[in-house]
Amino acid sequence: MNPDLDQLHPYPFEKLRALFAGVQPPTGLSPIRLSIGEPQHETPAFIKEAVVSALDGLSTYPTTAGIDPLRQTIADWLKQRYGLPNVDAATQVLPVNGSREALFAFAQCVVDGSKPGALVASPNPFYQIYEGAAYLAGAQPVFLNQTPANGFGLDLDSLSPAEWSRVQLLYVCSPGNPTGRVLTLEDWRTLFALSDKHGFVIAADECYSEIYFDEAHPPLGALEAAAQLGRDRFERLVVFSSLSKRSNVPGLRSGFVAGDAAILKKFLLYRTYHGCAMSVTVQKASIAAWRDETHVRENRRLYREKFAALLPILSPVLGVSMPDAGFYFWARTPGDDAEFARELFARTHVTVLPGQYLAREAHGLNPGRNYVRIALVADSAECLEAAERIAAFLS
C-alpha cells in the first residue's frame, strides 16, 4: 500500500464523532447541526426539472472535456461575473465533479515528484483536502497561519525564501473557509509576485464566491485580480468553483476549473486517465443552473437574513462579527474549543465544529484552537433557535 496513506489525519467529522462518543444530549431538545458546511436550502425546482429532462444523457459515455455548451456557459458566466474581457471555453475551462474532487486531483497532476523536498503550501485553518492531496502527491504540506494578528490573512513571511523555492503548489481559499476573509487586490499582487519568483502554481478555491452580503460588491475573484493586474493569460493560476453552495445542489457534484490554458491542457490529459468525466445528464442540468442568477440572489437573501438575526444574539457572548463572505461564523470560545463543543452538544443538542480540527500545529501554534466554526446552513428558525441555546449556555 502507498505509505503516504498513513500520514492522512482523520477527517474533522470523524474527530467530532469521537469527541461526542458517550454523550447523551437532552432528549427534549431537537438536534441542530451547524458543524458541516452542507447547504440545506431547497434545491431550485428548475434544476431538478433540468436533471429529469436530460436523463437520456445516461445512455452515453461522457467525454472528459465535457460538452461544448457547458464549457461555453461557464466561460460566459466567468466573463459576466468577473468582468473578464475573454475566457476561451475550449482551452481555459474544464467541468469537474465538484471542486473537492478537482482540488485533490490537481495536486497529483502538478507536483513533480522527481524534485526532492517538494512542498505544497496552504492556509491554516484549511480545507483538509489540501493536506491529503499534498501527501498523496508525494509532497510535504506547509501551512500559512491565519490569525487575528494579521487580520486572518496569509502569513507569507512564516516560510523562508529557501522553503518558498521548494513550494510547487499553493492552495488559497477566498472567501475563506472558515474565516470568510476575501483576498484583496494587493494580496493577489503579492501572491502573483511570489509565484513569478519561485515558479509555483496557485490553486484558488472559490466555492464560496457567490455567498456574500452586498449585491453591489461581490467578492474579488482570482481571475478578476489577474486580469486587473495585466495577467490576462492567467499564468500559473487555476480557479476552482462549484454549484454546490451557489445553487444548493451538493449532490449534483458539479463544478469547474478555469485559468492557465497550458496547465489545463495537462490537467485534461491527467483526467482522461483518472476516469472522472461528468455525466451528460449532470452537465445539461449544470447549464441551466449557471445560466440563472435569480435563485442565487434568493439564496444570498436567506443567508443575509440569518446573519442579521443571529449577530445580535451571538456577538455579545462569542464576540463574532460579520465575515466578508461565506456562511460561517468563526467564533472565539472562552476556553478549549473541543471541550466547548462537547459541553454545548451535551447541554443544548447543538453541534458546532472545533476549530483545532480544521488546522494543524504550525510555527508554534494551532490557529484554530479556541475557535469554533458555526455554519448557518439550517433554516432560519433552526439557526435562531441554535443561537438562543448557545447564548443561554454561555450566560
User: What's the pLDDT tens digit per position in 167-184?
Assistant: 999 999 999 999 999 999
Picking from 383, 384, 359, 361, the residue whose alpha carbon sits closest to that of residue 371 is: 359
CA atoms within a 13 Å half-sphere pointing along the CA-CB vector of 172? 27
pLDDT at 109: 96
Give yes or no for a contact between 258 and 92, defined as CB atoms under 8 angstroms apart: yes
Q: What is the mean pLDDT of the chain?
A: 97
Predicted TM-score (pTM) of the model is: 0.96
CA–CA separation, 219 and 155 (whole Å):
21
SS3 155: coil
H helix runs in 59-217, sequence order: 68-82, 99-110, 129-136, 161-164, 185-198
pLDDT at 362: 96
pLDDT bin (cut points 50, 70, 90) of residue 73 is: very high
Type of residue found at 4: D
SS3 109: helix
Judge whether residue 320 has pLDDT over 90: yes
Q: How, if at all, do strands 140-145 and 119-124 pair?
A: parallel
Judge whether residue 113 has pLDDT over 90: no
SS3 164: helix
Q: What is the gyration radius of the CA atoms in the chain, in angstroms?
A: 21
pLDDT at 266: 98
CA–CA separation, 178 and 357 (whole Å):
11
- Name residue 201's beta-bridge partners: 169
Judge whether residue 367 has pLDDT over 90: yes
pLDDT at 32: 97
SS3 173: strand
Q: Render pLDDT for 204-216 as a digit per residue (tens, 0 to 9).
A: 999 999 999 999 9
**Beta carbons within 10 angstroms of residue 169's beta carbon:** 27
Type of residue found at 249: V
| 7-35: average pLDDT | 94
CA–CA separation, 85 and 64 (whole Å):
26
SS3 367: coil
Give yes or no for a contact between 172 and 153, defined as CB atoms under 8 angstroms apart: no
Q: Render pLDDT for 238-278 as a digit per residue (tens, 0 to 9).
A: 999 999 999 999 999 999 999 999 999 999 999 999 989 99
Give yes or no for a contact between 142 and 119, defined as CB atoms under 8 angstroms apart: yes
Burial class (CB in 10 A: 0-12, 13-18, 19+), 112: exposed
* Percentage above 70 pLDDT, the chain: 100
Cell of 193: 509576485
Judge whether residue 50 has pLDDT over 90: yes
pLDDT at 343: 98
CA–CA separation, 267 and 256 (whole Å):
12
**Beta carbons within 10 angstroms of residue 214's beta carbon:** 10
pLDDT bin (cut points 50, 70, 90) of residue 106 is: very high
| 298-323: average pLDDT | 97
End-to-end CA distance of the chain: 51
Strand residue runs (E) in the chain: 32-33, 93-96, 119-124, 140-145, 167-173, 201-205, 237-242, 255-259, 328-332, 350-351, 353-354, 371-375
Give yes or no for a contact between 83 and 221, defined as CB atoms under 8 angstroms apart: no
